[in-house]
Copies of this chain bind each other. A is one copy, B any other.
């Protein structure tokens, strides 16, 4: 058996460094073993076992998830949207090939169908093999997997508008196959594919500490399409700056996505979720003063 190598792993450490996305800083994880290293049709795919964060999936050099902290992101991107809506029956996931969002979506008894649209089937295969706790819901009866480009899929869906209650865009960063998911056209497609009281949530790629003007711009673009567009902040140590912003939008101008429409009793929350609860749902939308000023373009900033 040949020993796998990867250019970003040197002297037993994986170093995440990108002079355009996050210049002058780098995050490293110690590698126990490289499990997989291939180029798919769309991206560079790397999986390694880390010494302290479990298995790690890396796409195009950027950490997508580690077994130790993935629950934070998966739970927040899913349940903030699901509880903001309150009774989602038809759910669409764009991206999310690792299965983590799917695992969270099917925890909601209201869900009748969960459709996952992933461009790169290598991500799904890799997750099934190396991230079993994330990919555990692909066989669920409510789940439908479509292997195609999310943008194209939504264009087709838009013909038959008003279809989904919640749409979750769990993409990689805009540099690469996910580029189109950060444009106004995409938000318009999401809008068209939603039921009248529908909610969307997207991985915003940036965070308030990294490139806040870009994040503010993204929210503004979404707000040109959706009457409600707010930023939620999720802590997760293996993402750059230890956090990731989520952009949550509602088609109904009366629906404040920062408040759950429905909350479970605390004992249920404890059973079902490690990170999410109805209080942190609301707290995640409260931003530090400077960030709030820039993101919502308030006077005085």
Binding site for B on A (CB under 8 A): 13, 15, 17, 23-30, 50-53, 69, 72, 208-210, 233, 235, 237-238, 240-243, 267, 269-270, 273-277, 279-280, 282-284, 286-290, 292-293, 300-301
Q: Which 5 A-B pairs have the closest CB atoms?
A: A242-B242, A24-B52, A283-B283, A237-B241, A283-B286
When distances are taken between beta carbons in the complex, the residues of chain B under 8 Å from A209 are: 69, 235, 237, 242
Select one of B23, B26, B270, B300 contacting A28, CB under 8 A.
Answer: B26
12 interchain pairs, CB-CB under 8 A: A23-B30, A24-B52, A25-B52, A27-B27, A233-B235, A235-B288, A241-B242, A269-B289, A274-B288, A277-B292, A279-B286, A280-B286
Of listed A17, A72, A279, residue having the most chain B CB within 10 A: A279
Number of copies of chain A assembled together? 2
Contact B24–A53 (Cβ < 8 Å): yes
A27–B279 CA distance with the chains assembled, in angstroms: 31
When distances are taken between beta carbons in the complex, the residues of chain B under 8 Å from A301 are: 270
Contact A290–B274 (Cβ < 8 Å): yes
Contact A72–B288 (Cβ < 8 Å): yes
A301–B270 CA distance with the chains assembled, in angstroms: 8
Shortest distance between the CB of A294 and any CB in chain B (Å): 11
Shortest distance between the CB of A133 and any CB in chain B (Å): 15
Shortest distance between the CB of A203 and any CB in chain B (Å): 17
Contact B30–A50 (Cβ < 8 Å): no
Contact A25–B24 (Cβ < 8 Å): no
When distances are taken between beta carbons in the complex, the residues of chain B under 8 Å from A273 are: 289
Contact B29–A27 (Cβ < 8 Å): no
